Amino acid sequence: QVQLVESGGGSVQAGGSLRLSCATSGYTFNNNCVGWFRQAPGKEREGVAAIFTVGSNTYYADSVKGRFTISKDNAKNTVYLQMDSLKPEDTAMYFCAAGARLCGSVVHGRADFDDRGQGTQVTVSS
């Protein structure tokens, strides 16, 4: 059974930082794409960042480029999202997701995934 478990969300003031983690299990971590999307109340989901688990190619939505950094630890089957210079508009539920089409979709602000976690809330106050 595939499991994606997020952690690290919370509340922070604008300009602050948070680091999200996504631990995967029951899943072929190698040779796939794992990443993050977010969804705020009343808004459509938005692809944020993704990374191929083979090699180091990363993909970002324009809205977070230069502020967010995605990374991975293949030995731990875990993906991280370092979020710096947070803005109030980054407030949303953040979901870890996986799927072959995810990387390509994130750069267009979409999130085409096969599996996702339960999400972790990120709140940025002004």
Q: What is the DSSP string of 54-69?
A: SS--EEE-TTTTTTEE
CA distance 1 to 17: 32
Q: Residue 29: its pLDDT value, please? A: 72
Residue type, 66: G
CA distance 31 to 21: 19
Cβ contact 35:23 at 8 Å: no
Chain Cα centroid distance, residue 27: 17
pLDDT in tens, the chain (126 residues): 789 999 999 999 999 999 999 999 877 677 789 999 999 999 999 999 999 988 889 999 999 999 999 999 999 999 999 999 999 999 999 999 999 999 999 999 999 999 999 999 999 999
Cβ contacts of residue 24 below 8 Å, gap of 6+?
2, 3, 4, 5, 34, 77, 78, 79, 96, 98
Q: Residue 28: its pLDDT value, please? A: 66
